[in-house]
Structure 1
Amino acid sequence: MTRMDGTEDRLAPVSYLFGSASDSADEPRSECDEIESLLANGLSDELARAAEASQRALARRALSRREVERVLRDKGFSEDAIGTELARLSAYGLVDDSALAQDLVASLQERKGLGRTAIAAELARRLLVPSAIAYALELVDSGDELARARELAGKRAGQLGGLDRDTAVRRLSGYLARRGYSGSTVRAAVEQALPASSPRPVVRFR
């Protein structure tokens, strides 16, 4: 707008907060752009420090959303800063509970030989959201789990050779149960690893 004295009115530049957009903008800004704008423009030193803290934590290992939240809260960041940083990490795929849950299931099954119950407990300990845990556990194949339990039982049975069968069965069953296998899976694995001896023939005297 031009004034009568020839000068022009100028509007002050507007900084849009996270989650908002300009009515006159040609294209909507993405969530990532909104958050990065906050960091780049130095609108909040706390946001920059929160981003640095989360990145250091994630450099050590993959974390669930609630684990990152706990890290930031323990460091004394405000709820607003924590929420904004979590939104930034989610927008960039740096925290993804579903992907993390699936990776953990594969690792816990294949590398540690854990059963469904132990896997579920570990996923809960990692503070993953229930929906991500439920979906990941659906990927646990019961046939693969039985095969893995049988493999573990076979290896473990070799260390129980000096025991009577009842004691060996009890110890092997406890070992598999502690690794999170169900009762039916434990019984099937133990029966294969420690088959019952065939009955001795009875000699009858006349």
Structure 2
Amino acid sequence: MPEHDPAARSASLEELRAAVARAEQGGRPEQRPTSDGPPPPEPQDADADPHAVARAVVLRQLTGSPKSRSQLAQALRRKGCPDDVAEAVLDRFEEVGLVDDEAYAQMFVRSKQSGRGLARRALQHELRSKGVDDEIARGVIDDIDPDTEREIARGLVEKKLRSLHGLDRQVQVRRLAGLLARKGYGAEVSRQVIAEALDALPEHQRD
């Protein structure tokens, strides 16, 4: 995606935050709880600008954690936002760089690699479940360094082996292979990494 002017991005964000404040205040008097139970539900403002309401929804979603455009569109749909309004608001967020599926996919891949040790296949599946376009996902996943992925697989195997000492080698192989398969590693990488780890164990070295 093209670089965005930081000053324009900051100004646009302030503009959107101001719209959020206006949409949330709406000029309504404060609701006070009573001793008889919880406060009544806040009435809907029939005159609220749907674009301002949609911007408020998107900003609240992004404040919690990064989101793909598809996830934000689903959140707007759940709030009853008209499709044309959602499209216009999300287009505007993309223009100022606040919604960027490529940047989201890059962040997601880094997080899931370091946190859960996921490999390409599993990452592709998870990005698809987040609504990221397959072409964008492939471009990000193709940038993954095979050596880095192999090292992550080795780390997973070494950690799992701590609970497998003393078991038959074939049992160890099956459990380690199952672990790596669930993480999305291919058969060849799994076979090599598992063999290297087991061959290095004293219990499997020949006298």
Match of 1:173 in 2: 177
Output the CA distance in 2 between the equivalents of 1:79 and 1:111: 35
Q: 1:81 aligns with which of 64, 79, 85?
A: 85
Partners in 1 of 2:155 and 2:56 — Cα distance? 45
CA distance in 2: counterparts of 1:123 and 1:156, whole angstroms:
26
Code of the residue aligned with 1:129 in structure 2: it is D
CA distance in 2, matches of 1:98, 1:115: 18
1:140 to 138, 141, 144: 144
RMSD: 2.4
1:52 aligns with 2:56: yes
How far has the Cα of 1:162 moved from its partner?
A: 2.7
Equivalent position amino acid for 2:93 in 1: L
> What residue in structure 2 maps to residue 105 of structure 1?
109
- Rate the CA distance shift 1:189–1:112 in 2: closer, same or farther, 3 A: same
Instruction: Give the structure with the higher percent helix.
Output: 2
Structure 1 residues 166 and 182 mapped into 2: Cα distance closer, same or farther (>3 Å)? same
Partner of 1:184: 188
For structure 1, list consecutive stretches of 5 or more residues without a partner in the other structure: 1-31, 201-206
Give, in whole Å, the separation in 1 of the partners of 2:193 and 2:93: 43
Cα offsets for 1:155-189 (capped at 9, x unmatched) = 21121013111111111111111111111110011
Post-superposition offset of 1:84: 1.1
Structure-to-structure mapping, 1:7-26, within 5 angstroms: none
Q: If the length of structure 1 is used for normalisation, what is the TM-score? A: 0.73
Write the letter of the residue equivalent to 1:194: L
Could you tell me how far apart the structure 1 residues matched to 2:74 and 2:162 are?
A: 44
Once residues 195 and 73 of structure 2 are traced to their aligned partners in structure 1, the CA distance between those partners, rounded to angstroms, is: 46
CA distance in 1, matches of 2:59, 2:175: 45
- Equivalent residue number for residue 153 of structure 2: 149
TM-score of the aligned structures, taking structure 2 as reference length = 0.73
Task: Provide the C-alpha distance between the structure 2 equivalents of 1:71 and 1:81, rounded to a whole number of angstroms.
Answer: 13
Supply the AA of the counterpart residue of 1:69.
A
Note closer, same or farther for the CA distance 1:189–1:47 as it changes in structure 2 (3 Å cut). Answer: same
1:122 maps to which residue? 126
Confirm whether residue 90 of structure 1 aligns to residue 94 of structure 2: yes
Runs (4+) of structure 1 exceeding 2 A deviation are 196-200
After superposition, give the CA deviation of every residue in 1:45-91 in whole Å (9 maximum; x if it has no partner).
11111111111111111111111111111111111211111111111
Deviations 1:97-117 (A, max 9, x none): 001111111111122211111
Unaligned 5+ residue runs, structure 2?
Answer: 1-11, 24-46
Structure ID, larger Rg: 1
CA distance in 2, matches of 1:151, 1:63: 29
